[in-house]
Amino acid sequence: MRIKITHKAKEFLQKSGKTELYIERFDDSQCCIPLTISPAVRKGKPPKPEKFNIHTADEFTVYYDRSLACKDELTIDSQGIGIVKGLIISDWA
């Protein structure tokens, strides 16, 4: 799997002092209709790292949830402003 991190996402991670991030299944269990949503991307190390595959992208360690479908390539980007800024997978389909 090839993981690309955009310049904006790298800046966001560097400003927060993080070199690790994880990609996990988005919990939609509270929803009454099935949704196809991209996984959640979070800063830091996952609570249960043994449930993740570990990848390296540039100077970052990326933990990828083993329960997710394996993609050939992913792009991690940032979106939002101020305190509502976060990380996303921009090419999940």
Its pTM stands at 0.86
Cα–Cα dist 70/80, whole Å? 27
Nearest to 23 by CA among 82, 59, 4: 4
Domains of the chain (ranges; CATH) run 2-89 (2.60.300.12)
- pLDDT tens digits for range 59-75: 999 999 999 988 899 99
- pLDDT tens digits for range 1-60: 999 999 999 999 999 999 999 999 876 555 565 555 789 999 999 999 999 999 999 999
